[in-house]
Amino acid sequence: MKPYLLGAVLVMILLLLSMPRLVLVPLVVQELEDEVGQFLQAQQVQVQLEAPWGWELVFGRLPRLDIVANDARMDALRVFQVTIHGEQIRFDPRSLWQDKELVYTEASSLWGEMILTEEDLNAYFWQEVDQDRLLRLRVAPGEIGLGGQISFWNMEWTITLLGDLEVHQGSSLRFVLKNLEVQETRIPSVLLEVLSEHYDFVVDFGVFPYPVELREVHLQEEQILVTFGGL
């Protein structure tokens, strides 16, 4: 075979080998950005995936995946940022090629984190629990609570409700009251129980495009970091 023919053949082989990388990788990235943006109602989604030749996608495998979604929403709660990381993810390739839908099946490792701000938590709390905006959520390193004024026994009381954020049923966060101070004076637990029925609330994160299990909650300055793993 003449040298120029051999070179042409090699170029054709390289082009054929690289076609999945040139075509399939952008397709999967776009599909993931669209799906995550739709599920999380995110204003901005960035997807990075590792598929050296792209042939992994033909067989329904993603070696590595990183997703960052900014300004997302989960029901009535705004989430400042969601990040998702996965390794050796399996999906149904037929659904992608035929229906343009990436159907997740399993992964060797899938984890991520969410950042919730104090401002967004208050907007959610006022909408779902305290429409009169009598109390305000305050988040500080290692602690969370409600503070404000309420009318009780025909008097105005300045109160501080101290609580915890607990993982509830795997995919939700629940604010649970632990202690109550009225103008720096503690009151009987029976009144705390009455207030708990009104001010306990749950935030559900079950709208993720795949099942998640919340792992840890870290209370920071005016924000909350929640870590989660895939099921």
Backbone angles phi, psi at 154, to 5 degrees: 60, 30
Helix (H/G/I), strand (E/B), else coil: 56 = helix
Arithmetic mean of pLDDT, 1-27: 55
Cβ neighbors of 220 (< 8 A, separation 6 or more) are 139, 141
Range of the domain at 89: 3-114
Residues 78 and 31 in one domain: yes
Residues 74 and 101 in one domain: yes
Helix (H/G/I), strand (E/B), else coil: 129 = coil
CB 63 within 8 A of CB 85: no
- The per-residue pLDDT of the chain, averaged, comes to 81
Identify the band that residue 97 occupies on the pLDDT scale cut at 50, 70 and 90. confident
Residues 86 and 154 in one domain: no
Among the residue ranges 141-150, 177-186, 204-213, the one predicted with the least confidence is 177-186
Identify the band that residue 15 occupies on the pLDDT scale cut at 50, 70 and 90. very low
Residues 74 and 49 in one domain: yes
Residue where one domain finishes, among candidates 84, 114, 144: 114
Structurally, how many domains does the chain consist of?
A: 2
Backbone angles phi, psi at 189, to 5 degrees: -65, -25
Identify the band that residue 169 occupies on the pLDDT scale cut at 50, 70 and 90. confident
Half-sphere exposure of 181 (CA within 13 A, CB side): 9
Identify the band that residue 19 occupies on the pLDDT scale cut at 50, 70 and 90. low
Task: Count other C-beta atoms under 10 Å from residue 227's C-beta.
Answer: 13
Tokens of 216: 């840890």
Residue where one domain finishes, among candidates 114, 137, 164: 114
At 30, which amino acid appears?
A: Q
Residues 8 and 86 in one domain: yes
Residues 185 and 146 in one domain: yes
Q: What is the pLDDT of residue 141?
A: 95
Residues 18 and 98 in one domain: yes
H or E segment to which residue 69 belongs: strand 61-74
- Rounded CA-CA distance 36/156 in Å is 46
Instruction: Report DSSP letters for 7-32, one per residue.
Output: HHHHHHHHHHHHHIIIIIHHHHHHHH
Residues 157 and 195 in one domain: yes
Residue where one domain finishes, among candidates 97, 114, 131: 114
Q: What is the pLDDT of residues 102-152, one digit of tens each?
A: 788 888 888 999 999 999 999 999 999 899 998 999 999 989 998 888 776
Residues 143 and 99 in one domain: no
- Rounded CA-CA distance 68/54 in Å is 22
Q: Cα 88 to chain center, whole Å?
A: 20
Residues 198 and 217 in one domain: yes
